[in-house]
Each structure stands twice: as structure tokens, then as C-alpha cells.
Amino acid sequence: MTTSPLVPVTLPPTVSLEPGGGGLPRLTIVNRHARAEVYLHGAHVTAWRPEGQAPVLWMSAETQWDAAKPIRGGVPICFPWFGPHPTDKSAPSHGFARLADWTLIEARDDEAGVTHLAFELTQPGCAAIYRVAVGSTLTLALEVRNPGRDAFTFEEALHTYFAVHDVRGITIQGLAGTDYLDKVGGTTPRNQGAEPIRFTAETDRVYLNTQATCTIEDPGLSRRIVVRKTGSNATVVWNPWIAKAKAMPDYGDDEWPEMVCVETGNVDAHAVRLPPGATHTMTASIAVS
């Protein structure tokens, strides 16, 4: 078994550690409810497949498995900013958390057979713990603590890539009537109206003031993916479509119909201001029906 200073805990029999893509350390979880994979690089969940289901998370075949680059697909952790850095153009898109090595600080199975992992990231001025519970539901929780003496403000998102049969055949329910910022070709305020979200072109939307549960209706795979959340006031919905897919080196030109991002976050006007000593927790729970 591979060991790593980033795994200073004893693993239960349901969890193994081995080199994954690019030799990056990967935890594999196999229990009676599901199978999952998590890289220490970015504490990045790259796979989750409940018993009897097709894979729920999408991964690009072109991801670059490089410790200096983000993994394309699964659940990137965007923190402590979302999108481009507000002032530093040299800073990585979506923050440093998904490029950092996180330390596994807990690994255990509960009495219901759900496997619980916790990862820690300590950076100057902030401390984050990311909890992953692998069962017939995948539950993710990002806890950010302010250890300092001054308040600080951050953005965050669990940038989840979901596998779908064909994005042109799905709908997303739950955001009817919700205001959003349309980020395609600028930033335009719009409202979703009564209709569910459908995809006919590049789609990049930040839905605001919403704590709603979103449901991805996927008739092609005869399933619904339900995304519940707490501690989050924004939901981002994204599909790059044709031109953007071609422009990304770690994304296959023909992969865009296979995925949709429904991202649980606090971004833009919903950035979190954390007083000294305080902790903020955001969770996403994903289930298939």
C-alpha cells in the first residue's frame, strides 16, 4: 500500500491509497453503498457511483493529472475566490484550494456502512476542513475557519461536474423565478422565469439568493440527480458548449454533451465575510433517484 505524509491516519478496510492519474495519490472507497475516488490533490472527488447506478460524476478524458494544474471533472473545490482573482491576473482561476495538497485527517465507516473522510488545508490566515461522506448519497461539507484576529471575506464553490446522457436532452428544475447573472459574453442580469433550465448554447449562469434544491432530469439515463445544499446562497450552472470545449486544453472537443455543472457556492454578492474565530460551513448532498 502506498503511504504518504498526507495520510497520517489508519485507513478502514473500505479505503485504499494508491497512485492515481499522473501518479497523484488517490484514495479509493468501496463500501456496500457506493464506490468513490478522492485525490489528495485538491481533496478532489473524481468518482462516485452508487450501487446499481451509472457513474454520477463526469471526468474529462483529457484531464492533465499534473500537481500544478486542476483536475478537470468531479468536484473541484473553488476557494477562496471564484473565477479569476479580482486583482491578481497571475493567480489561478477558482483559487488555490484545488491546486493544494490536502491532508487526510479522518477516515472511518459508520454503523450504517457510510465511509466518512475529512481533509484539512491550512494556509496563512485560514483553515479549511472538507468532509466527504460516501454512501447512497454523496455528502460534501466545506468548513472554513478564521483563526486570525481580523475578519476576512472569501468566495467558495463545489464545482460539481455531473455525467448526463446528452446535455441537450436534460432539464434542471428548482430555479424557476430565480434571478441570475448570465456570464456568457459579459455579465447580464436576467431571471429564469417559469421554465426549467434547458441547454441550447454555451450556458454560464450564477443564480442568486437561492437555497433551492436542484434536480437534473435526465431521461437519456432514466434518472434524476438531486442536489440539496445548506450554507449556500448561489448556484452556478455551466456547460461550455462547442467553442469553449475546443478552447480548453484539458477538455475534449466532443465531450460537452456528456456533462453539466451544478455548483453549490457563495460567489459574487454572496461572498462570505468571516469574523475572527468564526467558522462557516457549506454542504452539498447528491442523490440519484
* Positions marked active-site: 159, 263
- Closest approach of ligand TA6 to the CB of residue 62, in Å: 12
Shorter beta-carbon distance to ligand TA6: residue 103 or 264: 264
- Closest approach of ligand TA6 to the CB of residue 230, in Å: 20
The values of phi and psi at residue 210, to 5°, are -130, 130
Q: Are 157 and 265 in contact (CB under 8 A)?
A: yes
- Report the 10 Å Cβ neighbour count for 173: 16
> What CA–CA distance (Å, rounded) separates 133 from 114?
7
Chain centre distance of CA 24: 19
> What CA–CA distance (Å, rounded) separates 30 from 50?
10
- Closest approach of ligand TA6 to the CB of residue 161, in Å: 10
- Residue 99 is classified by DSSP as G
Shorter beta-carbon distance to ligand TA6: residue 166 or 268: 268
- Closest approach of ligand TA6 to the CB of residue 248, in Å: 6
- Closest approach of ligand TA6 to the CB of residue 258, in Å: 15
> What CA–CA distance (Å, rounded) separates 161 from 76?
9
Shorter beta-carbon distance to ligand TA6: residue 94 or 228: 94
- Closest approach of ligand TA6 to the CB of residue 246, in Å: 13
Residue nearest to ligand TA6 (CB): 93
Shorter beta-carbon distance to ligand TA6: residue 199 or 238: 238
What are the Cα distances from residue 40, in Å, to 20, 50, 201?
Answer: 10, 21, 34
Q: Which residue do the cell numbers 491550512 mark?
A: 122
Shorter beta-carbon distance to ligand TA6: residue 259 or 288: 259
Contacts of 107 (CB under 8 A, 6+ apart): 9, 10, 11, 12, 15, 27, 115, 116, 117, 118
Q: Are 166 and 257 in contact (CB under 8 A)?
A: yes
Give 106-118 as a DSSP string. EEEE-TTS-EEEE
Shorter beta-carbon distance to ligand TA6: residue 15 or 259: 259
Q: Are 145 and 68 in contact (CB under 8 A)?
A: no
> What CA–CA distance (Å, rounded) separates 252 from 257?
11
Q: Which residues bind ligand TA6 (CB under 6 A)?
A: 70, 83, 93-94, 159, 183, 204, 236, 238, 261, 263
Grid coordinates representing 109? 465507516
